[in-house]
A and B are shown apart, each in its own frame.
Chain A
Amino acid sequence: MIRQQAATAFEPKILAFLCNWCSYAGADKAGVAQLSCPPQVRTIKVMCSGRIDPQFILEAYRQGADGVVILACHPGDCHYKEGNVHAARRQRILLRLLAQFGIEAARCRMDYVSAGEGEKFARVLTEVVEAVSMLGPLQWNTTD
């Protein structure tokens, strides 16, 4: 009960990295379909999810993001052949590093959204906002 109250009071800041070809177009699709997307999410467009340097994610946390989402093309559908594979690999390794900092895996989610999946785009973002809301604010730079 207390947790739920905290969840409603806390407005997480979520940063979403979208690739130009699939997930950014998926976001457009969600918009065209007038699906409601959580306003707590800020988006950054890159050409390919493979462009996402893990340092961007660390930097996002440092600048106050409570959670980060990487949305890529589905495996095998990458416009640049294998950028999403690189992104997925980097995210997995990053999760191990984040765990050492005490940052929960739910704060760094990777998922696949194609250009046609407006509904999935809205759903994934909503799930991330809910999950991060449950976790509460990220306080990695104030703990020690």
Chain B
Amino acid sequence: MAVKNGCNADLDERKAIFFPFAGALPNLPVIDGAACLRSQGGECQLCREACPVEEAVLFAEQEQVIEKTVGAIVVAVGAQLLDCATLPALGERPGADVYTSYAFERLLAQSGPTGGEVVTLRTGKPPAAVAILHCVGSLEGAQCDYCSEVCCQNAFKFNHLIRKKVPGAVIHHLYKELVMPGKDGFALYRAIRDDPASHFIRYPSLDVLRVEEREEGYAVAYTDASGVAGEVTADLVILCPALVPTTDTATLATLLEVQRDRLGFFAEQHNRLAPVQSTVRGIYLAGTCQSPMDLQKAMGQGMAVAGHILSELVLGERIEIEPVTAEVDAERCAGCWVCLQVCPYKAIHRDESGRRACVNALLCAGCGICVAACPAGVMRGNHFTNEAILAEMAGVLA
């Protein structure tokens, strides 16, 4: 049984029982239920027969939901590339020598469909010219008006590796902006800028780009930033699509009750002071689920999150909470749930009776929004009570 291998961007095929990718942990094969003949009612058990260890292949194993009570949650679900099927003018489709950055990455890999050889599907030969389209989707439109941060590095790495594997290839970079900050970025860019066989063309927006299939390869037609129309030919085209939130991000955010930002990524609590905390205490963010970022930043975030959790959840120690919190006078709460709706921290819930509100002091940040909102005046803002504020007012206005 052979199906498209998603790990290699569908460029080759895999079996219904397979290793997810080289170096996967745990390094065990898994059965793809959708492809396995047996799980569709067939009698096939070739994998079990081939396995030298008896009872190692378990057909009876089922997916199961495991419930755990935890003290912290780390959201590290990553991002995904903009779907280039939404940009038909760029010509990315199965069987074409137009690759997304991910697919080309697999083409370069030792464990990839060509074993690391850079060859075109059309001829099976190395390309004489390559066009790399930067900023595909990035820096454009309301949904993607940001730089995806990793594509320039990616594109220049590709340039570097193509140059090594196919020394004579001409490489065209078509870009909106070149962004290579940091202490290592410029060195990589400079090497390619100074390479006579690497060319740079700046284009203003995707509207002016068109990838056309020709008898021998592709032509990338463009109008450059100064309004001059032109065309480059290439045997292989690489698109660097924008990093966008995964399709499941919205569902996960709703499940966790954390907020997302205007672009759909998970929102950090504060962009300078609390960049790895989500909007709910105890839920942390690491990596590109929060914002496009490179590996170094993602590693830094992951370590920061681990540090936060380890320093807050110490076995045998109590968690320190701020004294400024809200508190419900349960006797008088009428259960209108206005507080529930206004709390930005999901710190208020219904008590066991289901008729009164109850504040989780761990989650409460003490802003007092609910105190001001409570129509019955039964939400007490500790250390900033109505009585205290009114007395203060009486004092200063006397």
Contacts and interface: CB of A to CB of B under 8 A. Distances in A.
B360 to A, nearest CB: 16
The 4 closest A-B pairs by CB, nearest first: A51-B368, A80-B367, A50-B369, A42-B396
Interface string B319-338: 00000100000000000000
B393 A86 contact: no
A124 B389 CA distance: 23
Contact of A59 (B371, B390, B398): B390
A47 B397 contact: no
A44 B396 contact: yes
Interface string B367-398: 11101110000000100101001101110111
A141 interface: no
Given A56-B390, A81-B259, A50 B396 contact: no
Contacts of B371: 51, 53
Contacts of A5: none
Contacts of B367: 47-48, 50-51, 79-80, 83
Given A56-B390, A59-B390, A86 B369 contact: yes
Given A47-B384, A56-B389, A59-B393, A82 B368 contact: no
Nearest to B366: A47
12 contacts: A42-B396, A42-B397, A46-B389, A47-B384, A51-B367, A51-B368, A51-B372, A51-B384, A79-B270, A80-B365, A81-B344, A86-B342
Interface of B: 259, 269-270, 279, 324, 342, 344-345, 365-369, 371-373, 381, 384, 386, 389-390, 392-394, 396-398
B393 A63 contact: yes
Contact of B393 (A44, A80, A82): A44
Interface size on A, as a range, is 20 to 34
A48 B396 CA distance: 20
A65 B397 contact: yes
Contacts, number: 75
A63 B366 CA distance: 27
Contact of B381 (A51, A60, A86): A51
Contact of A60 (B270, B324, B384, B393): B393
Nearest to A56: B389
A82 B396 CA distance: 28
Nearest to B324: A47
A44 B279 contact: no
A50 B393 CA distance: 17
Interface in A100-125: none
A129 interface: no
A64 interface: yes
Most chain B CB inside 10 Å of its own CB: which residue of A42, A48, A52, A63 = A48
B344 A52 contact: no
B368 A60 contact: no
Contacts of A90: 372
Nearest to A44: B392
Contacts of B394: 63
Most chain B CB inside 10 Å of its own CB: which residue of A13, A50, A64 = A50
